[in-house]
Amino acid sequence: MRNLVQTTANIGALQASIGNFEQCSLRANLQPPAPPVDTLSDLSELSDDETPAHPPPKTFSRLRQPPSSSELRVLSPPPSNHHSARPATRSTRKKLVLKAQKPSPPQSSSSSVQSRNFHPQKPRASPHKASSNVVPHCETRPIPRVTPAQKQSSLQEIHISNSLPLPPPPPAFHFTLSTTDSEPSAPKKRRTKPQTEEAIAKAKAKKNAYRTRRRRLESRFHGLKDSWLKHMHNARVYMLPNFDITDTRCGVGGWRGSSSNVYEAPHTLAEAIAQGFDEFEWDGNTTVVFLDRNRRFIVLLRKKDNSPAGLARQERMTTKLKEEAGRALLKGKMGQGDFNALRDGLVHNQGTHVPSRVFNNQTNTRVLQRIFSDEDFVYESHQTDIALRMWNPALHQALWDVREALSSQPETEDLPWPYEHSPYTLTTVNFGPQTVCKTHRDHADFAFLMSVLKAFGPYDYRKGGHIVLPTLRLAIQFPQGAEAYFPTARLPHANTQIAPHETRYSVTSYSGGGLFEWCYRGGLSKTGWLDYLAKYEKAAEEAELDRERPALLTDRFFPVWT
């Protein structure tokens, strides 16, 4: 391709720089979404904290578990008429030996009496009714009566020691050298992997707990899993030798994009190729990064989830958009083309004193709320936030700082955001049915923001639906389920036409430059800010800052890759 050159980048240095950007308290204390998700995608886990699942509590005593029927015989006291059973002392042991219940005929030998008395005797059956949870004892024969002569002989043979028994002597070890060749010992049995689901879950929880303890001791940043970071090394990196992001225009102070007229891009793929555009073939299976001629990071094409669960999720999201499009009150074409669109979130334009929510009627508000609260859309918004932190941590930090500032002000703390796990203030849903944008530049967006575009619907991405970037001279294939990040306020963009029978939806998340400017001014409107500059004679100083700010923000939000 004439306008692209494949190159390499130091991904390790990029990963090391992620830890240099601390997260605000709002983002750090944010809990992951509640619904369970699949574990097959590249960004499969919802939570970006490596918190292992807690294993079931261990039982340290058999008494904590309910006793079985056999244990009840041992744990429950035998039924007896006595109120309590004391431990046997010396005197009580004598009484237990000499105790008799019924008379018996004299025996011929004292040894037989002694053996009969020292056999373990079972207790008598209680006259009371046994408890229902205790196994009834078997009936035993009565103990024969002991005669005085037998009693005297037994007392003479009983000897109770007053001293404690000595411990047994240590065993003696004898080492014998074998002179004959002995057979080799049998190899140890290989440990078998857990087969049941419970055993697999227990082993996985143990492994995750060990890994978490080990990583907490390492000198590394936290919050991103290695399973996510490893995909950064598989990204393809291209450089644009004929393009420089600093040549594009932005508004005064660098808060917004330029509202000047843009070049009209071709409407079909054939027209784009005829005008010298390069078609970038991308199937969405690999992440792609575009750098300008100064190696500044400007475009990201994030891979889609091709797992069975990911494809099913894309189908559900497409069905959801189709259903809600039929319920919404769509009057006329409200998008950047011949299609219907709705948006929700926070805006702050020149005519407002404080940020406010986008106005929608009650029906459309409910439609957007059902979309943004759907668990699949919540999942994708969280994955977008994680990807933004990996690839552009400085922009991710700035977006969350702005959200924290807006959430802490009395005028804006109650304003609803589209997603809880996303720092973007606005989200537009393009209901189509054929979302094909004309060439435009979103000049009201923050001039250094990388907006997120995601496409849905059954259409042939090889023949239509391309992302056309006239200043880059590129027509990028954009399959459904993939995501594109690029500065929509600086780069004019459009789409190529799709077939008449095809359907294409899209969802875009972005933030207005007025919100960044409002936070910079400390919550003052434009009139209040000008009064402040005039009162303290800072107009000239602020004009100088407005000239220097675009270069500073370029270095921060369009980082140079080595």
Give a yes or no: residue 235 inside a domain: yes
Given a contact cutoff of 8 angstroms between Cβ atoms, the answer to whether 487 and 447 are in contact is: yes
Q: Taking a C-beta distance cutoff of 8 angstroms, is the pair 125, 78 a contact?
A: no
The answer to whether residue 408 sits within a structural domain is: yes
541 lies in some domain? yes
DSSP 250-278: B-GGGSBB--S--PPPPSSHHHHHHTTPE
Q: Is residue 174 part of a domain?
A: no
d(CA 4, CA 168) in angstroms, rounded, equals 86
CATH of the domain at 466: 3.60.130.30
Tell me the pLDDT of the chain (562 aa) as tens digits. Answer: 677 899 999 988 888 888 788 888 888 777 777 654 443 344 444 344 444 444 444 433 333 344 444 443 433 444 444 444 444 444 444 444 444 444 444 444 444 434 444 444 444 444 444 444 444 455 555 656 666 666 666 656 555 555 555 566 655 545 455 555 556 667 776 777 777 888 888 888 898 888 878 767 765 555 566 667 778 889 999 999 999 999 998 988 999 988 777 777 888 999 999 998 999 999 999 999 999 999 999 999 999 999 999 999 999 999 999 999 999 988 766 667 888 899 999 999 867 789 999 999 999 999 999 999 999 999 999 999 999 999 999 999 999 999 999 999 988 999 999 999 999 999 999 998 899 998 889 989 999 999 999 999 899 999 999 999 999 999 999 999 999 999 999 999 999 999 999 999 999 999 999 999 999 999 888 888 999 999 999 999 999 999 999 999 999 999 999 8
Indicate the pairing of strand 236-239 with strand 288-291: parallel
Number of independent structural domains in the chain? 1
Q: Which domain holds residue 486?
A: 5-28+228-557
| Neighbouring residues of 139: CB distance < 8 A, sequence distance ≥ 6 | 125
* Distances 374 to 33, 324, 371 between C-alpha atoms, Å: 11, 12, 5
**Pairing relationship of beta strands 297-302 and 288-291 according to DSSP bridges:** antiparallel
- Bridge partners, residue 290, by sequence: 238, 299
Q: From residue 49, give the alpha-carbon distance in Å to each of 28, 31, 369, 503.
A: 10, 9, 27, 38
Q: Is the peptide bond preceding residue 355 cis, with omega within 30 degrees of 0?
A: no
Q: Is the dihedral of CA 333, 336, 342, 346 positive or negative?
A: negative
